[in-house]
Amino acid sequence: MWNVLFDNRFKREYKKLDKSLQKKVNDVIKDLADSRDPRQLGLHKTARYNCIHAYEIGRRYRILYDIDNNNLTITFLSVGTHKIY
């Protein structure tokens, strides 16, 4: 099981989401933390977000996260629509 950390930006954006979307985000966080390899569940981003992974929630929202293999830690960086990224 992976350790989970939340960036301050993620916390602010999460609070702005409606309750139903927060539930979906919570489910994704649990899935990633319980997975054997969270890289396989998300998409590897390039260019501006090099070494960051994205998990798509529907067509409109996504979660950006970083993985530290040495400490088995997932840091959730941001959550929101594609427009703000």
Series of mean pLDDT values for 10-residue runs along the chain (85 residues): 95 95 96 91 72 88 92 94 68
The fold of the 3-84 domain, in CATH, is YaeB-like fold (3.30.2310)
Contact 74, 33 (CB under 8 A): yes
- Interval 34-53: pLDDT, tens: 999 888 888 887 666 667 89
> In this predicted structure, what is the pLDDT of residue 1?
86
